[in-house]
């Protein structure tokens, strides 16, 4: 069976993993606000520079933004502890043909 195409809508349904790493500038956003930022990024295709400015994110280089994208829960269950495995969200330019590397948190 072929994997169905991933979209941001699907990721939202699967669930976004809260960003807890304090080194990550997105960890300062409340989950609702994080969703809005991601919506701007993936769906509205707002320029990254604009997103950083609008939400006052402490990111100096626009090229770094995609490195801070959160993880999302996949449908793959971990064979060891039975929890949902996670994957890194692709940058918007890599969404097409994205095949997630799943891991257990």
Q: Which of 23, 80, 96, 97 binds Zn ion (CB under 5 A)?
A: 80
Query: Min. distance of Cβ 14 from Zn ion in angstroms?
Result: 17
- Confirm or reject binding of residue 104 to Zn ion (CB under 5 A): yes
Name the one range near Zn ion by CB under 5 A: 3-11, 34-42, 48-56, 71-79.
Answer: 71-79
Do 51 and 64 touch, CB atoms closer than 8 A? no
Q: Is 81 in the site for Zn ion (CB under 5 A)?
A: yes
DSSP 23-49: TSGGGGS-HHHHHHHHHHHHTS---HH
In the DSSP assignment, the letter for residue 101 is -
Q: How far apart are CA 48 and CA 35, in angstroms?
A: 15
Q: Which of 78, 92, 98, 100 binds Zn ion (CB under 5 A)?
A: 78
Nearer to Zn ion, 78 or 102 (CB): 78
Q: Is 88 in the site for Zn ion (CB under 5 A)?
A: no
CB 8 within 8 A of CB 94: no
Which residues here bind Zn ion, judged by CB under 5 A?
78, 80-81, 104
């Amino acid at each position: 069976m072929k994997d169905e195409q991933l979209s941001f809508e699907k990721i939202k349904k699967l669930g976004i993993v809260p960003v807890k790493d304090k080194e990550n500038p997105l960890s300062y956003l409340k989950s609702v606000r994080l969703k809005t930022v991601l919506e701007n990024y993936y769906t509205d295709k707002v320029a990254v520079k604009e997103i950083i400015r609008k939400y006052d994110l402490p990111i100096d280089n626009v090229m770094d933004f995609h490195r801070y994208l959160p993880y999302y829960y996949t449908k793959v269950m971990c064979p060891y502890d039975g929890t949902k495995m996670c994957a890194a969200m692709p940058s918007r330019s890599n969404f097409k043909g994205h095949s997630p590397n799943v891991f257990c948190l």
